[in-house]
């Protein structure tokens, strides 16, 4: 089985229930989704206040104004649309059986999408091949949503893997929104510094509109030491904001 794409979700929860929501997500939400045919694995990520500060977004973005502190990436095999449709159906079944019990008014999905793989680029010291990239070890990611400039962006992605903190780049295109593309840069170390360095070394070209350029740290399931940093910051306290 080879990776073919992802299901991508950007999410938030109320600051008062960060640990509760993340435990629910790790213990109850993720397992039935990973059990679906075509889903290979799930990775979750968090943006702490310092990572929000390193984020760049277009006006009106669902990632702006301190939103989308969490993202989930389900790596897929086969036709990504099939897994996306099955996941939507699964949600309804879970609701019907009382398995989506976390209060709806304390969590929010800011953006959800299904992306098809376009290309992947790997850091040569790892001796990996492109199909290995979605599984490469990393401590964080820098996600980039973009429109236009596909050729230029793929050339940029190929150059990024020459940086010693970049272990791979996966470029994808949306199955739901025509013309929307995405790069996931798998990084090691300080994700905020990684995002800033990427922009300095490889700035956006004139052919590409950048919608989101945002660093995230990988979440270690059942381990949320960053919860207080979010709760005590000036990020929105509830999903209604």
Residue 1 is predicted with a pLDDT of 84
pLDDT at residue 144, as a whole number: 98
Quote the pTM value.
0.96
Residue 124's pLDDT is 87
Give Cα 186 to chain centroid, integer Å.
11
Tell whether the model's pLDDT for residue 98 goes beyond 80: no
For 80, 142, 167, 170, the CA distances from 119, given in Å and listed in that order, are 15, 17, 15, 6
What CATH architecture applies to the domain 3-220? 2-Layer Sandwich (3.30)
Distance CA 188, CA 221 (A): 18
Per-residue pLDDT of 154-181, as tens digits, reads: 999 999 999 999 999 999 999 999 999 9
Whether residue 149 has pLDDT greater than 80: yes
């Amino acid at each position: 089985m080879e990776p073919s794409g992802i299901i991508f979700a950007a999410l938030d929860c109320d600051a008062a229930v960060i640990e509760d929501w993340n435990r629910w997500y790790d213990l109850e939400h993720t397992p039935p989704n990973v059990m679906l045919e075509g889903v290979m694995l799930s990775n979750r990520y968090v943006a702490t206040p310092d990572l929000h500060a390193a984020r760049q977004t277009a006006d009106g973005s669902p990632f702006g104004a301190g939103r989308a502190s969490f993202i989930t990436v389900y790596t897929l095999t086969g036709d990504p649309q099939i897994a996306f449709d099955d996941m939507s159906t699964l949600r309804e079944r879970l609701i019907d059986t009382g398995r989506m019990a976390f209060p709806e008014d304390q969590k929010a999905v800011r953006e959800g999408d299904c992306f098809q793989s376009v290309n992947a680029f790997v850091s040569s010291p790892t001796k990996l091949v492109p199909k290995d990239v979605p599984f490469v070890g990393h401590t964080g990611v820098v996600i980039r949503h973009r429109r236009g400039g596909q050729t230029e962006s793929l050339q940029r992605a190929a150059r990024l893997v020459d940086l010693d903190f970049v272990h791979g780049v996966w470029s994808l295109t949306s199955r739901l929104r025509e013309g929307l593309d995405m790069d996931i840069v798998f990084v090691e170390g300080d994700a905020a510094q990684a995002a800033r360095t990427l922009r300095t070394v490889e700035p956006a070209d004139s052919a590409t509109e950048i919608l989101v350029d945002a660093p995230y740290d990988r979440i270690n399931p059942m381990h949320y030491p960053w919860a207080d940093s979010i709760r005590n910051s000036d990020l929105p306290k509830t999903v209604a904001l």
